[in-house]
Amino acid sequence: MSTIVAVKKTKGVQYVSIVEVTSIKVNGVKKQKQKTIKSLGPLDKLLEKDPDALTKLRKEYQTPTLKYREQRADLVEKHIKGIDITQADLQRKTVSISLNYGLWALKPLWDNVLTLKRHIYYIQNSKSSVQFDVNAVLSYLTFLKVVDPKSQFKAFNHQTKFLCSPLKDIGLHDLYRALGFAHKFKDEIFIHIHNRICDNFNRSMTMVFYDCTNCYFESPYDDKQLLERKVINYIKAQKLNDGMSLKEFEEYINSHEFSDAFTTKFNEAIDDGEQLVRMHGLSKEHRFDLPLISVALVIDDKGIPIDFEIFAGNTSEYKTLPVLIEQMKSKYDIKTAVVVADRGLNSLGNLLNLLDHKLGFIVAQKVTALSSELESQMLDLESYTKTSAQDTNIQASDVSFIDIFDENLDYIDKEINTYGANNLYYRKLPYVKSGYITDPSTGKKLKEKVECQIVFTFSESRKKRDIAQLESDIIKARKAVEDQKDMAPVCSSGWRSIVQVKVTDADSAQGKKESLYIAKGLKEELIKKRRRLAGFSAMVYKKPEDIKEELNDADILSSYKKLVRIEDCFRVMKSNFSIRPMFVRNKEHISGHITICVMALILLRILQIKIEESGNKLSVDEISSALRNANIVAHSSNGIDGYFTNAQCHDNIYSIENTKIDPLDPMLTPIDRYINKLKNGQSHIDIILKSVNLASLIGAMNAKDVARSLKVFGGYEQLVGADNCKIQSYMAQA
């Protein structure tokens, strides 16, 4: 509970009052309850009597309580008494080094919750010949992805920034060898993690969520191009060694003999294990100039990753699902489950593959490719069932099975519509998905079908968003027509899809004939169709073969919202963990790098669950920021002994939340709002430490205080690290 000075405008007049603010929980959501305890009248009259009235009131009501100040003073005094500082110590030159301890907030999850330390030691001792501490390297690299993501080289270079020397007696080459270890024993590690999550968090495998993304490498050549260059150089060296001149080789390279030799050597390299993984393909980030790899990920209903697999960058998304599902079935003994996936994985072959494995599916379906009869049934809103957000524990706008557009687009709905924005409407119908698939043994096209259900949904909020996006696309398309823009390459999605083009031939700068796709008009029929289908989406559903009961409607509707979590997983790995660009080359190191990123994501999700269990809630960015800024300063005049003080960095004062105008007090500044949060609750790092049963670091501390709080072993030198102690000793004497 806190007390604030509120300034509220009523009928053009600003009034001042003293408001008591209490944090309460409503249906598990934190909210603020406000109660006016004293009204002080109009603001202008108060300022007439005393220009500093508002400042004085804030100082009186918005400073920490005496009890709070006394508690802080007692804690600081208690810790200072435990530090043996003599007058001689104060007169000597003291050298201070800042150390991050954020890594150690993740160690209890690694060691105790997932018991990975023990399991990795077991694998290393029983199945590997490596001699360095693999657990130390893998845990350090994994923690670093959450705290301060870096490449392997920079991770090695910055090891002295962290408490307790995380890479003691470990070389740079060991970091890359650890990536190979993570790749080799990936299956054993993830099966162990899965078993621990089942034990600790009651993981359910009745519904799993699948999606695929890709990551790029900052390299001009993909693996195929590099291998081609390698083969050409090999043949060139061989021929020059045999006495062929460079001019003769230039002629030879255009001959059939060279072509045959090249093909033979190239195929030999592939047979010998040369891997073509980093390949050019369809980039979801539009990095078509760079080689890619594809990453397929499966998560559970809590948003915790289960497993992943990597594929060559030119692999179609459709082909990734059968491979990973086959692995999942055997590794995790999945008998029956519903696989939830985006429409990018909705192919007849994939659905048949899931049914062959006795699995069910909930997969997004394009509403633009329906038959006219089915489209008419979809558009008949009178036959829909109404459900509120409370019925499915979702917002209507969350259930989107089409492209996610910009939520910040302004749109004003001028007509009164009975289908309110807070409601979701749905309709479920029998559906037969049919088509042709290729028989892998004969290569022939076979007609197949899947009998399932199709679920249509409609929401007014989604309609507004779809219309707003369409209007934005029309503006861009009209501009392209006005400018007679060349639309190559022609796209089937986005604003380019509504542009009518005219193909003309022209001479290029090199004198060659090339086709130009000039924007000539808009596809009015397609625009009408998009308006007609705005607000609608669809998904196809079929229960697992061995399950008698169908999923209820609420579970089906809410399941797709949870697929957003897998998009969030990819966002976190790309934005927070810097999964790309990658700075490793071979498949083993690439796989090891992604293994570390996925393990970091697992730790992060578990930490969020632990924080929620403690009655708090922190976002991924808040956790990463808190751990990154969790610093203490080691002070020593000899590098042998010393003391520690807390050093906090406040880098989120000007967050979006803090810079919003408070209607109760428009004059409240971001720093005022930030300080109020500090008064009324724990800091983020304190919340994190408490959730993993560690103690906060407060005031001045000796080595025993720090070790006891973070549950680590060692005295001052072990905490600070031998390298940092040598620096302190040298600089103190300099």
Q: Using one digit for the tens of pLDDT, what is the confidence trace for 256-307?
A: 999 999 999 999 988 888 888 888 877 666 677 788 888 888 988 888 999 9
| pTM score | 0.78
Q: d(Cα 141, Cα 145) in Å, to the nearest integer?
A: 6
**Which of 110-114, 390-394, 424-428, 606-610 is least confident?**
390-394
Of the chain, the percentage scoring pLDDT greater than 90 comes to 38
Q: What is the arithmetic mean of pLDDT over 323-328?
A: 88
pLDDT per residue as tens digits for the range 15-40? 888 888 776 665 555 567 788 888 88
> Worst-scoring range by mean pLDDT, 43-52, 88-97, 347-356?
88-97
Which range (1-10, 182-191, 455-464) has the least confidence? 1-10
Tens of pLDDT along 202-216? 998 888 998 888 887
- Give the SS3 label for residue 98: strand
Question: In Å, what is the CA distance from 663 to each residue of 101, 179, 535, 652, 660?
Answer: 39, 53, 33, 22, 9
The pLDDT of residue 476: 92
Q: Does 405 or 469 have the greater pLDDT score?
A: 469
Whether 341 contacts 359, CB under 8 Å: no
pLDDT at 444: 85
Question: Is pLDDT above 50 for 417?
Answer: no
Count of C-beta atoms within a 10 Å radius of residue 179: 24
Q: Is 254 exposed, middle or buried (0-12, 13-18, 19+ CB in 10 A)?
A: exposed
Residue 710 has pLDDT above 60, yes or no: yes
pLDDT band of residue 412 (cuts 50, 70, 90) is very low
Q: How confident is the model at residue 82 (pLDDT cuts 50, 70, 90)?
A: low
Could you tell me which residues are beta bridge partners of residue 30?
25
In the chain, the percentage of residues whose pLDDT exceeds 70 is 86
Q: Which residues pair with 295 in a beta bridge?
A: 213, 310
If you average pLDDT over residues 381-397, what whole number do you get?
A: 65
- Residue 628 pLDDT grade (very low, low, confident, very high; cuts 50, 70, 90): very high
**Phi/psi at 577 (5° precision):** -95, -5
pLDDT attached to residue 399: 37
> What average pLDDT does the segment 406-430 reach?
54
Q: What angle do CA 601, 604, 609 make, to 5 degrees?
A: 130
| C-alpha to C-alpha distance for 464 and 472, rounded to whole angstroms | 12
Residue boundaries of the structural domains of the chain: 1-63, 103-202+585-613, 223-271, 364-543
Is the CB of residue 461 less than 8 Å from the CB of residue 397? yes
Mean pLDDT, rounded, for 101-115? 96
